[in-house]
Amino acid sequence: MNTQSIFLNLAVGGAFFAAILCPVRGEEGLEPEKKILSRHKTPPTYVRNEKDDSKWPGMIREGIDAARKYFGNYGPVYVYILGHEDKTLNSEEFHRELVETYCRHHCGDDREKLRYCKAGPGMELVKKAHSGRGDAYLSMVGDTDPPIAELVFINPHKFRDPYLYTRGIHEYTHVYQRSFPFTPTWMVEGGAEFFAAYLGEKNGWEKLSDAMKEFMKNVHRVKDPELDIEDMEDVDKVSPAVKKYYRHLAYDAGAWAFAFMIHKSKGRSIADTREVLYPLVAKHGWERALVEFAQVKDKRAFYKAFRAFLKTPLEAQLKMLETLED
């Protein structure tokens, strides 16, 4: 699929941050009902090191393209692939070039904002790169018109091989989701994890059932039996006691809840989440969309049914996955 690239001369890494000027809003802080993406003619623009001939950028791109093929092209999107195994490629010249490119995407030609971005948020990218930690996420630039989605992959060589493909799917799924009004955190992260596993299997990168087994293991690591996805509708509003299970509830239980929602739907079709569910979200909001799509009385009825499902044996849970149609 067609893409654009901005090649920088040397190598560095990057990370998410929040700023007062030219603010960058991460997944948790974004108000998507106010700033949403849309269908976009231009493919993602890749910002990366031209001397990086490793396999990592290609794996990320393949994963993103698999998701673009399934969901369509939304944006605008900038993909930052930052970091490299060979630290000898780092230099002050590259640091300046990276910060300049990054900040101009955020601030345009506003000198005051550019000065602030370069001295603060822009340089934070460099510091995070040198930390050596691997990470990947979506952040939103909400004060541009239109808003911009950034997919940031930091030190991708730190991840195991198949994971980069599916992480590319996961992050681009968020781009698609950000083209619709607010949905609960469990549906956002759970949906992205489900599609990463589903499209990962379609492309031969992993098995859906194996991924879902791992998710279920993590679900059962939640030590408080009273906590479930109902407590993870908005991660920005939960208590610290709940947020420490963010991964388990939003991603792992969320992936199973997303699959269970499809199972409850009329056609049990995964594609219907794209063709029916999200258009319903756009028209009526997520709660009514959930009720109509999953054919339940209200959202609490869905949560009650899902809690009962989680108590069934793993074998029965995996059988449920087999009922889902493409």
Tell me, letter by letter, the H, E, C secondary structure of 144-165. Answer: CCCCEEEEEEECHHHCCHHHHH
| Most confident of the ranges 34-43, 144-153, 191-200 | 191-200
**Upstream peptide bond of 76 is cis (omega within 30 degrees of 0):** yes
C-alpha dihedral sign at 245, 248, 253, 258: positive
Which pLDDT score, from 0 to 100, does residue 87 have?
A: 61
Which pLDDT score, from 0 to 100, does residue 19 have?
A: 26
Average pLDDT over residues 167-187: 97
Cα–Cα distance, 257 to 320 (Å, whole number): 12
Number of H helices, E strands in the chain: 15, 8
Is residue 84's pLDDT more than 80? no
Is residue 11's pLDDT more than 50? no
Which pLDDT score, from 0 to 100, does residue 142 have?
A: 80
What is each CA distance from 133 to 53, 93, 160, 193, 203, in whole angstroms? 20, 22, 13, 21, 28
Closest CA to 262 of 309, 214, 315, 202: 309
DSSP string, 176-245: HHTTSS---HHHHHHHHHHHHHHHHHHTTS--HHHHHHHHHHHHTT---TT--GGGGS-GGGS-HHHHTT
Count the Cβ atoms, other than its own, within 10 Å of residue 238. 19
Is residue 85's pLDDT more than 70? no
Spatial contact of 170 and 153, defined as CB atoms under 8 Å apart:
no
| Most confident of the ranges 14-18, 37-41, 139-143, 304-308 | 304-308
Spatial contact of 189 and 167, defined as CB atoms under 8 Å apart:
no
Q: How confident is the model at residue 288 (pLDDT cuts 50, 70, 90)?
A: very high
Which pLDDT score, from 0 to 100, does residue 211 have?
A: 98
Which pLDDT score, from 0 to 100, does residue 121 have?
A: 85
Which pLDDT score, from 0 to 100, does residue 90 have?
A: 61
Is residue 322's pLDDT more than 50? yes
Cα–Cα distance, 253 to 87 (Å, whole number): 38
Average pLDDT over residues 74-97: 76
Q: Where are the domains of the chain?
A: 4-177, 185-322
Q: How does pLDDT run across 126-143, given as a tens digit for each residue?
A: 787 778 888 899 988 887
What is the maximum span of the chain, computed from C-alpha positions, in angstroms? 60
Return mean pLDDT, the chain: 87
Q: What is the pTM of this model?
A: 0.88
Q: Kindly report the length of the chain.
A: 326
Percent of the chain at pLDDT above 70? 86
Which pLDDT score, from 0 to 100, does residue 178 have?
A: 96
Is residue 28's pLDDT more than 50? no
Listed in sequence order, the residues at least 6 apart from 130 whose beta carbon sits closer than 8 Å to its beta carbon are 13, 90
